[in-house]
A and B are shown apart, each in its own frame.
Chain A
Amino acid sequence: MTVRSSGTQPIRIEQDVVLARQTARKLAQECGMRLIDLTKLVTAVSELARNTMVYGGGGDMDWQIVEDGLRVGLRLTFRDEGPGIPDLKLAMTDGWTSGGGLGLGLTGAKRLVDDFELDTSPGAGTRVTICKWT
């Protein structure tokens, strides 16, 4: 698997969530992603970026356009150094929220992309990596 291009952008304030979505949209278009897949990916980005801002206390989004044989994909990592998720199984349950949300961000994002990995430990922050292939 080779990385064609990559970059990072901050996710600190509300406006950064908008910018994260815009970046993801632009990159997905560059990858030649179909509208339906692009919409799913951008929605997942919206969920994860917001979690990074709200629960992680801010962080960064790393992006990579990757190639694997004939496939092209967009891979994104959301990382923060916030409190981490104490009970991952609970957090990955449809409808569970510690705030006032709908509790469908993590599980929904997972269903919207092809690859989904979540690393977290209490006190050491959270890192979610997703990938969508064209």
Chain B
Amino acid sequence: MAALQQITVDALKRSESQLAVQWHADLEASGATRNLKPEEIRQQVADFLRLLTSTLEKGGSANITTTEWDDVRHFLEKLSSQRALAGQDSQQTASFIFALKGPLFTQLQNAFADQPLLIAEQVLQMSELLDGLGLHTIRTYQKSREAVIKRQQEELLELSTPVVKLWDGVLALPMIGTLDSQRTQVVMESLLQRIVDTGAEIAIIDITGVPTVDTLVAQHLLKTVTAIRLMGADCIISGVRPQIAQTIVHLGLDLQGVVTKANLADALALALRRLGVTLTKAV
């Protein structure tokens, strides 16, 4: 994957304070800050932007699992466990990262107004990076939340899984954890509702965070795909790792022409192609 360009990092750094203000405003508007102290949010917004730019300046790659990203990941882990304890849901927690997209893309658009190709390419890079960080946040939120639930000895997980808008017309549903039947049902229903509400054309169901895909999980997925198609939208399943792909074959599952991708980035690229969005690398 092409890296973020230095000029993007520079633009980001230049607009750090504006970004902080806009991002904070968007967070408040989205309801993601409910029950949290305003000074605390402001601090977290500023801290995260500082960490992000300094990591990117050090040449942090697109792969957020590398050591350069340690500080950023730790920051998000702390944040998500704090949110889990504060009783925020995963949607609110994940919004912390996803709400940064809007203001950030606006800044990039302003910075490179005369270079649309560059904007498209850099926005995609940025988007992939933020998706990775957002998913990491949800994952660690889930871990902390599971610890809380375990302590309370609750029997069922009743977490809402966020339905995330990745692009105009493209929704993503990152599924995380055990797809026990009850929760799956709720999650799928909320995805269908969001498709109706937003008129999205393509839904990406990401199963990177699902450790086991057995016939029951597959049945849930197929039902959802069928419903999505009946609504006139398209569906892509991403996060089908090699070991999962092989297991699906051995189980004898027929995915009925569902398009699958190894990761969310590939699925998004395909979705954009289908929508006729062309992304070209700036030379």
Chain A positions within 8 Å of B, measured between CB atoms, are: 13-15, 18, 21, 25, 35-36, 38-40, 42-43, 46-47, 50, 94, 101-102, 104-105, 107-108, 111-112
Q: Which residue of B lies closest to A37 (CB)?
A: B243
How many residues of chain B get a CB closer than 8 Å to chain A's CBs?
Answer: 22
A112 to B211 Cα, complex, angstroms: 16
> Which residue of A13, A14, A104 is within 8 Å of B181 (Cβ)?
A14
Is B86 an interface residue, CB under 8 A from the partner?
A: no
Task: Known contacts A36-B242, A40-B246; decide if A112 and B251 are in contact (CB<8 Å).
Answer: yes
> Which residue of A15, A21, A112 is within 8 Å of B247 (Cβ)?
A112
Task: Known contacts A102-B253, A107-B252; decide if A47 and B214 are in contact (CB<8 Å).
Answer: yes
15 additional A-B pairs beyond A35-B243, A104-B251, beta carbons within 8 Å, are A13-B155, A15-B155, A15-B156, A18-B178, A18-B180, A36-B246, A39-B212, A40-B243, A40-B247, A43-B247, A43-B251, A46-B214, A101-B219, A108-B215, A108-B253
Q: Distance (Å) between the CB of B174 and the closest chain A CB?
A: 20
Is B218 an interface residue, CB under 8 A from the partner?
A: yes
Enumerate chain A residues within 8 angstroms of B250, measured Cβ to Cβ: 40, 108, 111-112
A42 to B210 Cα, complex, angstroms: 13
> Which residue of A14, A38, A42, A43 is within 8 Å of B180 (Cβ)?
A14
Is B9 an interface residue, CB under 8 A from the partner?
A: no
Enumerate chain A residues within 8 angstroms of B181, measured Cβ to Cβ: 14
Enumerate chain B residues within 8 angstroms of A50, measured Cβ to Cβ: 214, 216
B residues 207-245 touching A (CB-CB < 8 Å): 211-216, 218-219, 242-244
Enumerate chain A residues within 8 angstroms of B252, measured Cβ to Cβ: 94, 104, 107-108, 111
Enumerate chain B residues within 8 angstroms of A105, measured Cβ to Cβ: 214-215
Enumerate chain A residues within 8 angstroms of B213, measured Cβ to Cβ: 43
Contact B251 A111 (CB under 8 A): yes
Closest 6 pairs between A and B when the two form their complex, measured CB to CB: A108-B251, A39-B243, A46-B214, A111-B250, A102-B215, A36-B243
Q: Which residue of A lies closest to B213 (CB)?
A: A43
A107 to B180 Cα, complex, angstroms: 22
Contact A102 B219 (CB under 8 A): yes
Q: Write the B243-266 contact mask toward A (1 if CB under 8 angstroms, else 0).
A: 110110011110000000000000
Q: Distance (Å) between the CB of A105 and the closest chain B CB?
A: 5
A42 to B251 Cα, complex, angstroms: 12
23 of the cross-chain contacts (CB-CB < 8 Å) are A13-B155, A14-B181, A15-B156, A18-B178, A21-B212, A25-B211, A35-B243, A40-B246, A43-B213, A43-B214, A43-B247, A43-B251, A46-B212, A46-B216, A50-B216, A102-B218, A104-B251, A104-B253, A105-B214, A107-B252, A108-B250, A112-B247, A112-B251
A37 to B215 Cα, complex, angstroms: 17
Q: Distance (Å) between the CB of B14 and the closest chain A CB?
A: 44
Task: Known contacts A21-B212, A50-B216; decide if A39 and B155 are in contact (CB<8 Å).
Answer: no
Enumerate chain B residues within 8 angstroms of A38, measured Cβ to Cβ: 243
Task: Known contacts A39-B243, A43-B247, A107-B252; decide if A101 and B212 are in contact (CB<8 Å).
Answer: no
Q: Distance (Å) between the CB of B124 and the closest chain A CB?
A: 30
